[in-house]
Amino acid sequence: MNPTTTPPDASQPAEPSIPRSASRTDRTDRTDSTDRTDRADRTDRTDRTDRTDRTDSTDRTDRADRTDRADRTDRADRTTATTARSTATAPRTTATAARTLTAATDWSIWSTSARLVVTDAAKLTRARRIADRILADVEGACSRFRPDSELSRLGGRASEGVEVSEMLAALVERALDAAEATHGDVDPTLGGVLDGLGYDEGVRMLPHPQHGDEASFSLSVATPREPGWRRVSLTGRLLTVPDDLRLDLGATAKAIAADLCARAIALELHCGALVSLGGDIATAGVARDGGWQITVQDLPHDPQASIALADGYAIATSSTQKRRWMHDGRQVHHILDPRLGLPVPPVWRSVTVAATSCLRANVLSTAAIVKGRRATEWLASQGESAMLVDTQGRVVLVGGWPESSVDEHPRREHRAG
């Protein structure tokens, strides 16, 4: 669960208007009329005096008019300058206040939830546009559930080698790197196996049975399969996939997308950014208040931990409690043992790893689920911090994961490594 900040009310007060007064003009008109009448009366008495008086009166009136106009102009200039200074100050004050606020937005994507947090509230809308653009590019390249995605359109054409987009090539390359780093525990060639288990409609359309250690799994006897990832070739952008294999990049593509979004937002908008895609959390830029405050909890009533994630770090959780469905009368989940093509026995409810990228955190947490009881020793050898929760709710901490971060309710089994 990530911090939420309500954006401030950005409404501005209306600029006050200053009405102009016509009273001085009215008084001048009345004076001019009186002067004209008076001058006419004096004309009847004496012409010379009249000319002298008119000249004197005209001079005084002209000077008075010039003085009056100068006074009005000077006051108008001072009023205009004061108004301009007042108007210019308001936006600067508002902008400064906005930059001190953190803002967040949530939405649904890829049958899961997404969350975006930025350290400058004024940049939230632009940050969301950046995230939407990147997420659309990733989905368009590798979605297994969209018939118009580049991966779906490859069909059987990749057996002889086909040139793919930069995005799809990058996603496949990272997935093959993950398979090599985990000795095949994270295998991107399980798309056909998942289809055979019924995971071909999108998880929202599948039934959800009970979860946690209450669920019972039926284990089937299966023939060991050849690791498919070794048979995939990528040279530059030339991708070759045998006809009997179907790529599924879901184990890595979501984490890659989170990394790409956070980094692009921080780079383009010069602010701190946190992007969460279904529990895969990436950060970039500088956080506020001493790091990103993260609450780790897979399901309600599961053990909970609260940690501060340092700038630029990431965290990912892999779970056997979510994305479950019934297939042929038995309960299955989406994390498979690549060597058997079956869901792994649930030794762990969830595994959470903190690392320098969301991709690395996700690869390690997924591989830990597959490795089962060998996970703690293997994670300790990777030099990252982790929290594992077994099927009984007991917590195992690995590396530098702080013990003080975990609540006291569940039984803590031990610290590994």
Instruction: Specify the pLDDT at position 322.
Output: 76
CB 114 within 8 A of CB 257: no
pLDDT band with cut points at 50, 70 and 90 for residue 155: confident
Tokens of 97: 């206040």
Instruction: Specify the pLDDT at position 207.
Output: 52
Mean pLDDT value of segment 374-393: 95
Over residues 263-295, the pLDDT tens digits come to 999 999 999 999 999 989 999 999 988 789 999
Return the top range by mean pLDDT from 64-68, 73-77, 392-396: 392-396
Mean pLDDT value of segment 149-157: 91
Instruction: Specify the pLDDT at position 337.
Output: 86
Over residues 95-129, the pLDDT tens digits come to 333 345 899 999 999 888 999 999 999 999 999 99
Instruction: Specify the pLDDT at position 342.
Output: 81
